[in-house]
Amino acid sequence: MPRYALKIEYHGAPFVGWQRQTSLPSVQGAIEDALAKLEPREHKIAAAGRTDKGVHALAQVAHCDMDREWTPFRLSEALNYHLKPHPIAIVDCAAVTEEFHARFSAQERRYLFRILCRRAPVTHLAGLVWHIKPDLDVDRMQEAANLLIGRHDFTTFRSTICQSLSPVKSLDELRISKVETDAGTEVHFNVRARSFLHNQVRSFVGTLEHVGSGSWTPADVQTALDARRRDACGTVSPPHGLYLAGVEYPVDPFHKSKHIVSLQ
CATH number for position 29: 3.30.70.580
CATH number of the domain residue 238 falls in: 3.30.70.660
Last residue of a domain, one of 75, 105, 135: 105
Whether the CB-CB separation of 189 and 262 falls below 8 Å is answered with: no
Regarding whether 98 and 35 lie in a shared domain, the answer is yes
Regarding whether 112 and 88 lie in a shared domain, the answer is no
Q: What is the spatial distance between Cα 37 and Cα 58, in angstroms, rounded to a whole number?
A: 25
**Could you tell me where the DSSP H helices lie in 9-98?**
27-38, 72-83
pTM of the model: 0.94
Tell me if 253 is assigned to some domain: no
CA–centroid distance for 160 within its chain: 19
Q: What is the spatial distance between Cα 244 and Cα 102, in angstroms, rounded to a whole number?
A: 14
Q: What is the spatial distance between Cα 51 and Cα 240, in angstroms, rounded to a whole number?
A: 11
Spell 217-250 as b/e; 16+ CB within 10 A means b.
Answer: ebebbeebbeeeebebbbebbbbbbbbbbbbbbe
Last residue of a domain, one of 53, 70, 105: 105
Regarding whether 191 and 95 lie in a shared domain, the answer is no
Neighbours of 258 (CB within 10 A): 9
- What amino acid is encoded at 219 in this protein? A
Tell me if 255 is assigned to some domain: no
pLDDT of residue 257: 37
Query: For 150-190, how does the pLDDT look when each residue is reduced to its tens digit (9 = 90+)?
Result: 999 999 999 999 999 999 999 999 999 999 999 999 999 99
Regarding whether 215 and 170 lie in a shared domain, the answer is yes
Regarding whether 148 and 130 lie in a shared domain, the answer is yes
pLDDT of residue 41: 97
Regarding whether 112 and 92 lie in a shared domain, the answer is no
Q: How many domains does the chain have?
A: 2
Its domain, for residue 92, covers 3-105
Regarding whether 130 and 232 lie in a shared domain, the answer is yes
Specify the pairing of strand 88-96 against strand 56-65: unpaired
Regarding whether 162 and 96 lie in a shared domain, the answer is no
Tell me if 122 is assigned to some domain: yes
- The residues annotated with a catalytic role in the active site are 52
Query: For 39-71, how does the pLDDT look when each residue is reduced to its tens digit (9 = 90+)?
Result: 999 999 999 999 999 999 999 999 999 999 999
Regarding whether 157 and 63 lie in a shared domain, the answer is no
Percent of the chain residues past pLDDT 90, beyond the cut: 95
Regarding whether 118 and 217 lie in a shared domain, the answer is yes
Beta bridge partners of 24: 21
Tell me if 60 is assigned to some domain: yes
Tell me if 250 is assigned to some domain: no
Regarding whether 92 and 81 lie in a shared domain, the answer is yes
Which residue numbers in the chain have pLDDT < 50? 257-264
Picking from 95, 22, 33, 59, the residue whose alpha carbon sits closest to that of residue 244 is 59
Regarding whether 159 and 145 lie in a shared domain, the answer is yes
**Could you tell me where the DSSP H helices lie in 39-159?**
72-83, 138-146
Tell me if 222 is assigned to some domain: yes
Tell me if 140 is assigned to some domain: yes
pLDDT of residue 258: 42
